[in-house]
Amino acid sequence: MRRSVYRRAQGDSPVKLFFIYAVLIVFTIIAVYPIVNVFSVSLRPNNRLYSTSLAIIPDDATLQAYKSVLFEKPFLLWLKNSLIVSLVTSVIGVGLASTAAYAFSRFRFRGHRAGMTLFLVAQMFPIPMFLLPLYILLGRYGLTDTLLGLAVPYVALTLPFSIWMLKGYYDTIPRELEESASIDGASPLSAFYRVILPLSLPALAITGLFSFMTGWSEYIVARVVLTQPDLFTLPLGLVNLQGQFSTEWGNYSAAAMLIMAPVMVLFLSMSRFLISGLTLGSVKG
Amino acid sequence: MDDSVQRKGARRGVAGRFVARRSPGGLHRRRIRLAYLLILPSALVIALVLLYPLLFEFYLSTTNMSMQRIFNYQFVGIRNFATILADPQFYEVFFRTIIWTVVNVFFHVAIGLWLAILLHRKLPGRAIFRVLLLLPWAVPEYISALTWKGLFNFRYGAVNLFLGQVDNLLNSAYGLIGLARGWHLGPISWLSDPTWAFAAVMIANIWMGFPFMMAISLGGLQSIPHELYEAADIDGASGWRKFRNVTLPLLKPVLIPSVVLGTIWTFNKLNVIYLITLGGPGDKTHILVTTVYRAAFDYYRYGYAAAFSVVMFFILLLFTVNFVKHLRGTEAVY
Amino acid sequence: MKKLLVAFLAAALLAGLMVPAAFAAKKPVEVVIWDQDDPPAEAVMDKLYKEFMEKNPGIKITRVHYGTEDLRSNFQNAVIARKGPQLILAPYDNIGPFSTMGIIQPLDNLVPKSFLDGFNKSALDGNRFNGKLWGIPDRVGNHLTLVYNKKLISEAPKTMEELIAKARELTRDTNGDGKIDQYGLVYNLNEPFWFVVFQGGFGGWVMDAKNQPTLDTRATVDALQFVHDLKFKDKIVPEEADYQVADTLFKEGKAAMIINGPWSWKAYQDARIDIGLARIPKIDSTGKWPVPMTGMKSYSVSVNVKDKELKDATLKVLMFLTGEHAQAEYLKARAIGDLPSNKKVADSAEVKNDPVLKASVDQMMAGKPMPIAPEMRAIWDAIRPSLELVMGGRMSPEDAAREMQKVAVQKIKEMKQ
């Protein structure tokens, strides 16, 4: 089964392989270098954001910044808040989107296309301009300064993409698969979760990751909704390390590296789903 | 909602009903009710969160709310819109926004898709590449922007240092074959030359965005049955032909939402330009959204900024409706 | 598949359980302060809060830090939505727009006159706009000064010509790789706040008594030519330098002189640079001292503070944090580098015996308060783009001065629409 996934690759000639590796290595360097730079800043004492030397590990390297962020700043509190917001956003977001997308993919009804477009419309207004009315609105529901008050707008922000993405993916799944399920007497809903959902793992993984990352790194909305330090999420906490003129760049970069760490773990575990053996090809073949 | 869209939606429904007609009427109605039920929660969340702000801003766009009139603003009709559309600068910035959006989205998709295709094969070490290439997505934008600002520094930035190295290499190469060089690579005044500064913010933004498109393409590639490639192989199709005739059409369902939304997001993207160039040098890297931000939060021209946003909203709406219209047909791929 | 569903439901349930626990934050009656200060100052602030709360168990102070721009826009949003903090500590030039918008309240009748008498009069007057007092400063200064690295330059230059000559000597390639790696002078080249220092030295100023821009003047042209020449003719500054680059070069000992403000001095000492401070030297052709803008940070009270009990608590906190004791604490910790606005503390031996602070006082004498009229915003934004183009060698000083004036007038007009 697994082998079929790779069958195409067997024809790659050594020259082509060399070329492929060259491209991948070049892009990997481009992708990673700026991050290495941030890492380097996190090791520098005296808050130097820039350096005139290209050395990655400075001569006077110190882990002080990491110690300071982890133990002297409420980093773990920010981490907890961010985890809550991001998890709630992705669970609710993917949950709502996966069913709505199913309706758009498998049913034809009045306002089908208008509905799809309407979901996009929600994204077209510049977000900074939404802040004032959103703040007033959330205040009316008593949701300012609550994590839920942040998660709800996040869900609204992620839904359009998630729905479109999942709908597109569902469209590629052959209908015969559900039809054979419905001959067995299954309702449309059970066909949905017995046939469609398992086949859509890569797309679910991507929308889940997308929703999570939105909650994880969003700053502009969070800044307005949350004004209590004990509710701050990681991006707010991070900016909190910036002063008017003097920023603790070491701490700032160390915090940035620490923010990236959980996401890297997530990427590693999610990438299994992105290339999972449960592909459509395998089901059909 | 513009009602031509709704009409189009209805027309679409006629074609779609064909599917439903096969089933008896009662079952059909129940299916329709189910569909609405499935969509309802998502629609509610969006309506609750975004409808009020949208109406609020539309209303503000017809007022003169500003620093002097925060609590006592008045209705001024279309005056704000007239001011915006009569300003030649608006069109200059609009044009720049289009370039910004097209270049960014093109490279996001092109690089993301290319890397995904390279990674979609048996390669030792591909798991490592996959995670490393996704990394830029994990960096908070705030940090990436500041880091790139440093990388673009004329004298100390890694970009110019790298160009310098390449230039030295070229020099030696030319020397070896005994040719004189009439040109030099770098150093480039990334942040003090308007054109280069615009290139710099785009490079930074492309860096931030390609991993997302790569992830999406990787997921999308999973849905392509391998038999299709095998069939193409039997036909003796070249790599490019396979890409054109098999990969691209079958990736459409996942690429299209990404391109549409990627366009909308990029069009409205504030952070990168704001943090790297602040619209400079010479206000030559402003795009529409940085202009609107400045009007609202630096000059407290709330009514004007709201009208500006409404204009931007309609530009995007027009684009999307047209784009979606051109997509009809694609649903029938499968 | 079932497993997946179970996992999904479990996650949803878990999230559901976590939600109420995490979302139920209770709100005691408290005085909230929003600030945008630098970390060392905030450390002293937090110490002061603790002291205050021990003495006044009925009042709880909460501080929230924001970036400068975020503080401004968030405060607007919050107050318009009838929320937000009771107090803000922000650069005093916010007073112009904030009082025009009506989101802060006048303090004339709220703070006793005896308390106000303790303040440096001109500092307090700086917080008046349209005849009313809108803020109480806890410090004055914020002015740019010449800072030099004693290892590279033993004595501060007396005139600008001398400065340029010395800087020329010191701008050189120290390691023989064919590239300059030590500069005579560094500063934030494209930032208007730095540019106006020179504009003043050539006898100009940003606006007239009616808050109208005065940018298209001989002084502006000369000053633009001057900063242009520093880069293109004298070549004593780096090709590109924003704040961070200038700061890094100086911290690494690769710049002999930097023009920077009080907030930065402590960090240079921490980085083991032996610094000296001096007035930015006289411009030879005019015989005038360059004019850094002086500023302060002030506490202002939100217009939403109406409830009597809350108002009393807020004023108590305000007076404690701007009072003699608090200012002495700041001074003792050298946390801000600025000078006290309280007359008694400013006269203390602590200031007089400190060479850095003494030099700072001296530089401040040459300075001029930053205008707080809302028009200033337009002027800053008008100067920046043309200055950037001049420093990029793409615009002549004459054109730039004309353009600055035109843009400033235009932006002020738009602002008042």
- In chain A, whose CA is at the least distance from the CA of B268? A126
Q: Does B237 contact A at CB distance below 8 Å?
A: no
> What pLDDT does residue C291 have?
96
Q: Which of C239, C388, C416 sits opposite B155 (nearest CB)?
A: C239
| Helix (H/G/I), strand (E/B), else coil: C159 | strand
Question: What CATH number did the domain enclosing A163 receive?
Answer: 1.10.3720.10
Mark the ranges of chain B whose per-residue pLDDT is less than 70. Answer: 1-25, 328-334
Which of C76, C101, C385 is facing B281, going by the closest CB pair?
A: C385
Residues C303/C75, Cβ–Cβ less than 8 Å: no
Chain B CB within 8 Å of residue C103 CB: yes
CB proximity under 8 Å: B 25-84 to A: 31-32, 34-36, 38-39, 41-43, 45-46, 48-50, 52-54, 56-57
Q: Which residues of B touch C391 (CB under 8 A)?
A: 192, 281
CA–CA min distance A21, chain B (Å): 9
Choose between C33 and A41: higher pLDDT. C33
The helix-helix angle for A147-171 and B25-46 (nearest 10°) equals 140
Query: CB of C102 within 8 Å of any CB in chain B?
Result: yes
How far B61 CA sits from the closest chain A CA (Å)? 11
**Residue C37: pLDDT band with limits 50, 70, 90:** confident
Query: Which of A224, A243, A244 is facing C77, going by the closest CB pair?
Result: A224
C303 has a chain B CB within 8 A of its CB: no
Q: What does the DSSP 8-state code read for residue B58?
A: H
- In this structure, what token pair is assigned to residue B325? 């219209």
pLDDT of A1 higher than 70: no
Question: What's this model's pTM, rounded to 2 decimal places?
Answer: 0.87
Q: Which residue type does C148 have?
A: Y
- Say whether A129 and B57 touch across the interface (CB within 8 A): yes
Q: Which of A2, A109, A161, A271 to mutate to test the interface with B (most CBs of B within 10 A)?
A: A109
Residue A29 lies in a domain: no
List the single range of A160-169, B294-303, C328-337 with lowest mean pLDDT. C328-337
C275 contacts C266 by C-beta, under 8 angstroms: no
Residue A138 placed within a domain: yes
Token representation of residue C343: 């007359």
Q: Name the residue in chain A with its Cα closest to that of C272.
A: A46
Instruction: Give CA separation, C139 vs A32, B122, C143, C279, C326, in Å.
Output: 44, 66, 12, 20, 11
pLDDT digits (tens, 9 = 90+) for A182-227: 777 767 778 888 888 888 888 898 899 999 999 998 998 999 999 8
Residues from B in contact with C at Cβ < 8 Å: 64, 66-68, 70-71, 83, 149-150, 153-156, 189-194, 278-284, 294, 297-301, 304
Which residues of C are less than 8 Å from A145 in CB distance? 25, 27
Nearest to C239 by CA among A250, B106, B186: B186
- Residue A246's pLDDT is 66
Interatomic CA distance for residues B256 and A124, integer angstroms: 17
Q: Which of A92-106, C2-16, C259-273, C356-370 has the lowest mean pLDDT?
A: C2-16
Q: Is A129 on the interface with C (CB under 8 A)?
A: no
Contact B193 C392 (CB under 8 A): yes
CATH of the structural domain B86-154+189-333, one choice from 3.40.50.300, 1.10.3720.10, 3.40.50.720, 3.30.70.20: 1.10.3720.10
Range of the domain at A170: 69-284
8 Å CB contact between B37 and A99: no
Query: Averaged over C321-334, what is the pLDDT?
Result: 91
Q: Which is more confident, C110 or A47?
A: C110
Q: Considering the domain boundaries, does residue A3 fall inside one?
A: no
Total domain count, chain A: 1
pLDDT number for residue B156: 79
pLDDT at C22: 47
Set of chain C residues whose Cβ sits within 8 Å of the Cβ of A181: none
Placement of tokens 């575990």 in the chain: A269
Catalogue all structural domains in chain C, each as residue range(s) with its CATH number.
31-142+295-369 (3.40.190.10), 145-291+374-416 (3.40.190.10)
Residue C239 forms contact with B (CB below 8 Å): yes
Q: What is the ipTM of this complex?
A: 0.87
Give the distance from residue C216's alpha carbon to the nearest chain B alpha carbon, in angstroms.
17
Tell me which chain B residues have a C-beta less than 8 angstroms from the C-beta of A285. Answer: 225-227
Q: What is the mean pLDDT of chain A?
A: 84
DSSP 8-state code for residue A192: I
Extract the runs of DSSP E, i.e. beta strands, from chain B.
Answer: none
Alpha-carbon distance of C221 to C207, in angstroms, equals 15
B81 contacts in chain C (CB < 8 Å):
none
Which of B147, B207, B226 is opposite residue A281, by nearest beta carbon? B226
Are A7 and B230 in contact by the 8 Å Cβ rule? The answer is yes
Q: With CB atoms and an 8 Å threshold, state whether A227 touches C270.
A: no
Mean pLDDT to the nearest integer, C322-344: 89
Q: Are B138 and A267 in contact (CB under 8 A)?
A: yes
Contact present, C11 and A92 (Cβ < 8 Å) = no
A186 CB near a chain C CB, below 8 Å?
Answer: no
Residue A134 has phi, psi (to 5 degrees) of: -65, -40
| Phi, psi dihedral angles at C140 (to 5 degrees) | -130, 160
Contacts of B70 in chain A (CB under 8 A): none
| DSSP secondary structure letter of residue B285 | T
From residue C270, alpha-carbon distances to A100, B141, B154, C45, C151 in Å are: 58, 30, 28, 21, 15
A48–chain B nearest CA distance, Å: 12
Residue pair A37/B151 in contact (Cβ under 8 Å)? The answer is yes
What are the φ and ψ backbone dihedral angles of C148, each rounded to 5 degrees?
Answer: -130, 155
For residue B74, give how far its alpha carbon lies from the nearest alpha carbon of chain A (Å): 18
Integer Cα distance of C271 and C262 in angstroms? 15
Least CB-CB distance to C249: which of A52, A145, A193?
A52
Rounded to a whole number, what is the distance in Å from the CA of C375 to chain B's nearest CA? 10
Within 256-285 of C, beta carbons closer than 8 Å to A belong to 261, 263-264, 267, 270-271
The pLDDT value recorded for residue B146 is 87
Q: Do A256 and B141 count as a contact with CB atoms less than 8 A apart?
A: no
Residue contact B215–A163, C-beta within 8 A: no
Return the residue of B nearest to A133 by Cα. B53
Q: Is B42 close to A51, i.e. CB distance below 8 A?
A: no
| Minimum CA–CA partner of A175 in chain B | B334
Residue A199 lies inside a defined structural domain of this protein: yes
Q: Which of B131, B153, B292 sits opposite A129 (nearest CB)?
A: B292
* A146 vs C: CB within 8 A: yes
Select the more confidently predicted residue: C333 or C101.
C101
C125-179 pLDDT per residue, tens: 989 999 999 999 999 988 999 999 999 999 999 999 999 999 999 999 988 877 8
Averaged pLDDT score across all residues of chain C: 90
pLDDT in tens, C66-97: 888 889 989 988 998 888 999 999 999 899 99
pLDDT at A245: 66
Find the residue in B nearest to A257 (Cα).
B139
Condensed to tens digits (0 to 9), the pLDDT of residues C99-136 reads 999 999 999 999 999 999 999 988 899 899 999 999 99
